Structures are given as C-alpha cells and as structure tokens.
Amino acid sequence: MTDIISSTKIPGAKMLYRTAFAAALISGCFSLIFLAALLWSYFSPYTSLVSDDPAATLSVDSPGAPPFLVLPTDQKQFNDLKNKSREDIANEQLKTEIRELDRKLRYEYFLKHKQNRTAALFFLISSVILVISGKIAVTLRRKIPDPAEENGACQTHLTANQQVTYALLGLGLIACFAGGIVFGLKLSGESKIAEFLLANPPVLLDFPQEVSENSVSDNTSVVSVTPTPAANIDIDPTENRDAFLAMFDKQWPGFRGPDGSGVSRYDNIPTEWDATSGEGIKWKTEVPLQGNSSPVLWENHVFLTGADENQRKVYCFNTESGKLVWDAEIPATQAGNEKTPEVNEETGYASPTAITDGVRVYVIFANGDVTAVDYSGKIVWNKGLGVPESTYGYAASLALWFDRVIVQYDVGDGKDGKSRLLALKNTTGDVLWEVPRTVRCAWPSPIVRKIGESWQILTCAEPFAIAYNPEDGKEIWRCKCLTGDVGPSPTSYENTVYVVNEYPQFSAIDAAQTNELKVLWSATDNLPDAVSPLATENFVYTLASYGFLTAYSVENQSMAWELEVGDGASFYSSPSLAGGKIYCFDYSDDNMNGYVIAPKETEGVILAANPMGEPVVTSPAFADGRIYIRGKKHLFCIESK
C-alpha cells in the first residue's frame, strides 16, 4: 500500500504536509502550555503581596475551595485585620493597612483573571490550529489500499488493534480540547458563553410575598403640628401625581437627585473653583455635628443631618446666605435607645442622606430611627425600627414614591429574618406594607425608577438585586449577581438596570422583560466597593475607590477607556454628571480635590482638579449655576463665575 502524498501529482503536496505537521506539533505544544497555565492558576494559592518572602501565601477562610475561586474578601489575613479594626475603631494605621491590603488583593485577583482570559483565548486558538493542521497531515498520509489480493476482496489497511489505538487517541484529544475550553471559560469570568454554561442563571420569582401591616407601629410617636411647606408647594402627591413629579424633578430632593441617577438637568454648572482661597465659593458654613450624609435641596432650603453617639440633628440652611435657619434635635425612640449602634469612622452616626417632598424632610440615623420633620423644624413623627446589626454601621439613604417613604433595612446575617423593605406613610409614619428580605447587611440605597410602564423599587444586597412594586411591595424580579460586602447603589437608564460591586462583577439587567429576566452583559474591571455607578445612553461609568474612572460602552458591552483620577486619589463620593461633565470628589489627605472630567468616546480628560481644603465623602447636589457639597467640616456652595 502507498499513501496519498506519495501517489498524488499535485504540486506542493509534500510541502503542505510538512507545514501542516509542523503547525500541528507547535500548536499542540502551545495548547499543552496554555492548559498547564490554566490548571496552575486554578490550583495554585494566592501569592502574598504584603510579605517580603516571595514564597509566602495567604491562608483563606474558605478551606477546600480552589484558590482561584477564593475572593480577596475571604482571605484570612484580610478578615483578621477587619476584625481588629472593629475592636479598635480609632486605629488609623490599622485602617490604612486594611486599605492597602485590600488594594493589593484586588489587584492580584483581577490581574489573574485577566491573564487567564488571555491564556484561555490562546488555548482555544492553538487547539483549533492543532485540529485543522492535524487533520490535513493525517489525511495526506492516509494509506491507499491495493487491489484485492484474495478472492477479489480488499484488505483492511488498519488492524483491529490499530483502529482501537487511533480511536482512543482521537477521543482523548477531543476530551482534552473540550475540557480545556470549558476550563478556560470558567476561569475567564467575563465570557458570555461561560456565563451561559457555568454561572447561576437569574431566578425569576412570581410568588406573592407576605405583607405585614403596621408591624413596628408601636415604636412610632406622632407630634400634632401643622407642617410649614416650602413656597408654592400645595400639590397632593396622591391626587395629582404628574404635577408632583414635575415639581419633584426640578429639585435635588434626595441622594443623587430626584431619581437617584446623579444626573443634573442644569448645564451651567461651575467647573473651576478653589475652596482654600475662596475663589468660586459663594459661601461655606461649618456643620456643627459630623455626618457623611449628602446635602438635599428644595427651593431655598438645604438639608443635612449630623449625629454623634449621644445626639441626632437635622439642619436647614439657606441656599443664598449659607446661614443655619434651624436645627431639630431628634430624640431616640424606645427601640432606637436600646443600645448604642456600632459604627466605624467611615460610616458614622449620620451616613444616610435625607429626602424631602417640599413639605417634610425625612431622615434615618444609625440607631434605626426614621423621622419626619416639617419645614419649620418641628417633628411630625418618629419611628424606631430597632438598632441595626450592621458591620460598619447603617448607611442606606431613604427613597420616596409619592405618599410613601421607602426604607431598605438590610441588617443581620440574612438568615435571622431581620432584613426587610418598608413603605411608611409620609404624613403619619404608619407602615403601608413591609416585606422580608433574605439578604445580609448591606449599604446601598434604594431608588425608584419607571421601567417600561411600571414603577420599580430597585435594591441591592448580597446575593440579589431585587425589584419591588411600590404600590404593595410585591416582588417583581430578582437576579443573583452579587456577593461580599455590597456598597454601591443601583442605577438605570431606560429599561436597563446597572448593578455593580467589587465582587463578583458589574451586571447590566434587562428589567422590562420580567418574564425572561436576563443579564445582558457584565464586566469585572475597576469595580467600586462603595461608589455608585453613573449611567447615560451610550456609556456607564464606574469609579473605583482607588481612583480609576472606567467607561463601559453600552453598544459594545465592554470597556471603552479607563482614567486614573489624581495621584493616589481615593473616592467614596459617587460621580455625578452635569453639563456633559463628570464631577468626582476625593477624600484622600494628599488630594482633597473636586475633579471635573470630560468623558469622550475613547478617553476621559481631566479638565480641573479644584482644591477643597478638606476631605469629601459625600455626593454633590446641583442647582441652577451652583454645586452644594459637604466636606468633613463644612457645607460649601460653589457658584459659576
């Protein structure tokens, strides 16, 4: 018998065989190298980035799990430091050490994932080349049987043993090829095919939730007063919703604006100022009590909260002069006075931002007391939800939907039945509905957005993003896409909801198709642990606490560009958009700037780094030609020149 390559008269057949054979050999070697790299990354432990010993590793709190799948937050050394910090809240050196370790672990975690995505891609390419070139080489060396030598029959050119051997080798090659692809996809973290095959799909629930009426009404005290409304506010939100919404949208009434998006409707916002010299500063006023709550605006009123271990206050400042108009001290309810809430410095006793409807301002403090105060500073009602069991201290801001105040009260471990979502009547504090939540303590704030033709309350906490109907609290959809300590609040643009957390990923969810809920796309680069995302028609922006602003293209569903903001800048303040520019405020001692950034198609350009003179962890409020921002000590009014 002879083979095809020896018998053919086609020019270049031998050269084609040698090329195919060499390509198969080289690509096979590379396939093995890339597969070995993927296996090594999957089973090798984290390399310590904080030890001088290059062979040192970090032990984890997830024994038995492959090291590649262990999150940085599960590293034992990291958790030990966090536990020490809870016992020694005032230790700034320890906090710095935790932040530095967190940054290094994050860097290593995402670097490994990037490297594995690259290795998986090259493994796939080399495997395809191996199969194609190998097929060509084998075909060219295939034996051509001789004419029949016995009774006109053809002889079989492969013995039975040879057939079995080749079959086993072929099956082994296919198994190795398929297993390597799946392995690579599992390590890649971002592949849509991997999400489809390997990730837990979103779970859609259509069963009704149990609604508990007035379950905490015994902790409510109502003070009989006649509320003093803001000027020209005589709209009943229950009777004229359209008129109320039109008025509400003109203000900056809550955290990140009327809809929680952080987008201002004003274009004439200042871009340059210097708070240290007073340039561009209309006024600055010292706030008596510390707090990390952001300012909210309604016409000529600016509202803030402040608190310490012994007292809680609501402040009203005049927008023109910055003078303190009044402050209202909020007494603790019986439920809120059972014990002193445990907080750390980053959270404090007054972290949640207030919300207002033009008649009353609604606030919540670290002790779980929710209070309504009218525009003359008188308490309308005061309700205690109980002192929250929260790792760092309670921080979720309130939301408002017409005649009801929305409270996302995520506390405890998620298994003790303490987390819940409530709607309180704006005039009395009575519970309109309450639903339990099977989530652990978290820090995001709820937002209320119109998705399609229906309103949805959007919430985030480990492990779910969940939407509720504000009318009755019934669950609309849920998506399992979060883990770890969840800090950033959700946002949306039209019918797409964007949920982001440092672990495991950024998720874009189609919230209109609730009968077929799905994650449209996801990403893992430069994700924040506290800062909320900013969404526009074409881009979604995330700001990592360690200073990287990242633009994700909605059309391409991938990163468009990234920008390091400042030199060693740190952020807890969520980015905002005004006049087509992004505003970011830094809290690090070395910067303390308000950055103004021009977001372009392929890059972000820093237009100005404006000195603030003190750290800023809050988010700005925008008005016509002005920015109101709270620093560590002062409330600032920044005005266009």
Spatial contact of 150 and 218, defined as CB atoms under 8 Å apart: no
pLDDT at position 641: 73
pLDDT exceeds 50 at position 153: no
pLDDT at position 163: 54
pLDDT exceeds 90 at position 610: yes
| Residue of higher predicted confidence among 129 and 356 | 356
Nearest residue to 522 (alpha-carbon basis) of 557, 488, 546: 557
Spatial contact of 269 and 435, defined as CB atoms under 8 Å apart: no
Confidence band for 166, pLDDT divided at 50, 70 and 90: low
Q: Which tens digits make up the pLDDT trace of 385-426?
A: 999 988 889 999 999 999 999 999 999 887 888 899 999 999
| Averaged pLDDT of the chain | 81
Q: Which tens digits make up the pLDDT trace of 85-140?
A: 666 666 767 766 776 776 677 667 666 767 777 888 888 888 888 888 877 877 77
pLDDT exceeds 50 at position 50: no
> 48 phi and psi, to 5 degrees?
-70, 130
End-to-end CA, the chain:
93
Spatial contact of 448 and 399, defined as CB atoms under 8 Å apart: yes
> 459 phi and psi, to 5 degrees?
-135, 155
The 8-class DSSP code of residue 546 comes to: T
| Residue of higher predicted confidence among 269 and 128 | 269
Q: Which tens digits make up the pLDDT trace of 389-400?
A: 888 899 999 999
Among 114-123, 227-236, 557-566, the range of highest mean pLDDT: 557-566
pLDDT exceeds 60 at position 159: no
Read off the tokens for 246: 């039109």
Round the CA-based radius of gyration of the chain to a whole number and report it.
30
C-alpha pair distances (Å), 418 with each of 200, 401, 415, 436, 474? 26, 23, 8, 8, 18
pLDDT exceeds 70 at position 586: yes
Confidence band for 231, pLDDT divided at 50, 70 and 90: very low
pLDDT at position 9: 62
Read off the tokens for 477: 């959809």
Among 112-116, 359-363, 476-480, 513-517, the range of highest mean pLDDT: 359-363
Percent of the chain residues past pLDDT 90, beyond the cut: 51
Task: Give the span between the Cα atoms of 172 and 107, in whole angstroms.
Answer: 37
Confidence band for 82, pLDDT divided at 50, 70 and 90: low
Nearest residue to 581 (alpha-carbon basis) of 275, 295, 271: 271
C-alpha pair distances (Å), 174 with each of 125, 127, 131, 238, 371? 15, 10, 9, 65, 66
The 8-class DSSP code of residue 58 comes to: -
pLDDT at position 97: 75
Task: Give the span between the Cα atoms of 498 and 2, in whole angstroms.
Answer: 65
- CB-based contacts of 356: which residues, under 8 Å, 6+ apart? 251, 253, 254, 296, 298, 301, 303, 362
Peptide bond into 615 cis (omega under 30): no
Task: Give the span between the Cα atoms of 67 and 49, in whole angstroms.
Answer: 15
pLDDT at position 86: 60
Read off the tokens for 220: 């409510």
Q: Which tens digits make up the pLDDT trace of 461-477?
A: 999 999 999 999 999 99
Q: Which tens digits make up the pLDDT trace of 283-342?
A: 999 999 999 999 999 999 999 999 999 999 999 999 999 999 999 999 999 999 988 888
pLDDT at position 122: 83
The 8-class DSSP code of residue 340 comes to: P
